[in-house]
Amino acid sequence: MSHTLLITGASSGFGRLTAEKLAASGHRVFAGFRSVGARIQVADGLRAKGIHVVELDVTDQSSVDSGVSEVLKQSGGKLDVVINNAGIASAGVSETFTAEQVRDLFDVNIVGVQRVLRATLPTFRAQHSGLVINIGSILGRVTLPFFGLYGASKAAIEALTDSYRYELSQLGVDVVLIQPSAYPTNMYAAAQQPVDSDRASEYGNVAQIPAKILQTFSDLFQGKAAPNPEDIANAIDTVIATPAGQRPDRIVVGIPFGSDAVNAAVAPIQNGLMENLGLASLTKLQLR
C-alpha cells in the first residue's frame, strides 16, 4: 500500500537514504530540508527520483508550519507517516560545552520533534490514523562518555515517544522509535564540538579520549565489515509496511551494545506501571 510521508532532515545521512528507499517502495515522499538553497544539488537529485522537497527547519515553528502546509496542499490533505529524523550530534568533554550549545542541541533533537508533531498531529487525529516514527539512538539507553549530552537528548526522545504512544493510542495514531547504533554518515563529521577549550585542557589526557573514540568509529566505518546506513532506511520501510497494531514500540538497528537488554528489562516494568495506574488500555492501539 502506498502512503504519503514526510521526513525531516532529509538532505543527508539516514534521512536522504530513507527518502530514496521509501520512494523506491512506491510511497509518495516529502523530504524536509532545513535550507533547500544550501543543498540545491541534493534536492534536484531527490526530485529526479520522484521525491518532493520542502523547506522545513525544525528549529523554526513558522518554517515547520509552512512546510507541513505545503505538504498538505500538494497531497490534497493526505498525510500518513511522519518521520522525525532531523538531529545533530555532539562529542566532547561535557563541561566544555556552553549552555547555549546544549540549548541548540536540544532545540533540534527534542523541541524540533515537538514542533513537527504539533503541526502534523491535527491531520492524524482528524483521520483517526497515522504513524509517527522517531529516530532515537542506542545512546538513549546506554551511556557512552563524552557523548552524554547527545545521549541525554536521545533519552528524552525515549520518554517523549512513549508518552505520545500512550496519548495517541485511542486516536488510532501509532508511534514507533528507531534506535540506530553507530553508522557511517556525516553525523560524526558534523558533530557539535565544545567551544570552551580552556576547560578541556584542565582534564589532561582525558580530554584526548573523545578524538580517539571518533577515530575508532572512523576506522570501523572504513573497514570491510563497516555497517551499512541503509539498514535504517530498510527498518523504517519494514515498520511502515507492518499493519497498524502489530508494530513494535522500538527497534534497535545495528550493534546494540546492550541497549536491546535495557529495552527488554524496561518493557515489563513500564507495562506494569501502566496496569497499576489503570491505564493499560493506552498500551493498545485502537483501530477503526
**How does pLDDT run across 221-275, given as a tens digit for each residue?**
777 777 898 999 999 999 999 999 999 999 999 999 999 999 999 999 999 999 9
Contact 170, 214 (CB under 8 A): no
Rounded Cα gap, residues 13 and 24, in angstroms: 17
* pLDDT at res. 7: 98
Helix axes 148-168, 99-106, angle to 10 degrees: 30
User: Please, which pLDDT band fits residue 21 given cuts at 50, 70 and 90?
Assistant: very high
121-178 pLDDT, tens per residue? 999 999 999 999 999 999 999 999 999 999 999 999 999 999 999 999 999 999 999 9
177-236 pLDDT, tens per residue? 999 998 877 776 678 889 998 999 999 999 999 888 877 777 777 777 778 989 999 999
Beta bridge partners of 252: 179
Could you give the residue numbers annotated as active site?
150
Radius of gyration of the chain (CA): 19
279 in any annotated domain: yes
**Total count of domains within the chain:** 1
51 in any annotated domain: yes
36-58 pLDDT, tens per residue? 888 999 999 999 999 999 999 99
CA distances from 30 to 5, 77, 146, 153 (A): 6, 13, 35, 25
254 in any annotated domain: yes
Domain of 138 in residue numbering reads as 4-86+108-183+229-283
* pLDDT at res. 26: 97
Beta-carbon count within 10 A of 152 CB: 20
Sign of the torsion formed by the C-alpha atoms of 36, 232, 50 and 186: positive
Q: Please report, for the domain that includes residue 17, its CATH number.
A: 3.40.50.720
Full DSSP string of the chain: ---EEEESSTTSHHHHHHHHHHHHTT-EEEEEES-TGGGHHHHHHHHTTT-EEEE--TT-HHHHHHHHHHHHHHHTS---EEEE-----B-S-GGGS-HHHHHHHHIIIIIHHHHHHHHHHHHHHHHT-EEEEEE--GGGTS--TT-HHHHHHHHHHHHHHHHHHHHHGGGTEEEEEEEE---SSTTTTT-B--S-HHHHHTTGGGGGHHHHHHHHHHHHHHSTT---THHHHHHHHHHHHSPTT---SEEEES--TTHHHHHHHHHHHHHHHHHHTT-GGGGS----
288 in any annotated domain: no
Instruction: Give the residue-averaged pLDDT of 89-114.
Output: 97
195 in any annotated domain: no
209 in any annotated domain: no
Cell of 45: 537529485
Name, in order, each residue with C-beta under 8 angstroms of 155's C-beta and a sequence gap of 6 or more.
140, 141
35 in any annotated domain: yes
Cell of 4: 504519503
Instruction: Give the residue-averaged pLDDT of 68-73.
Output: 98
Contact 117, 164 (CB under 8 A): yes
CA angle at 272 for the pair 236 and 260, rounded to the nearest 5°: 40
217 in any annotated domain: no
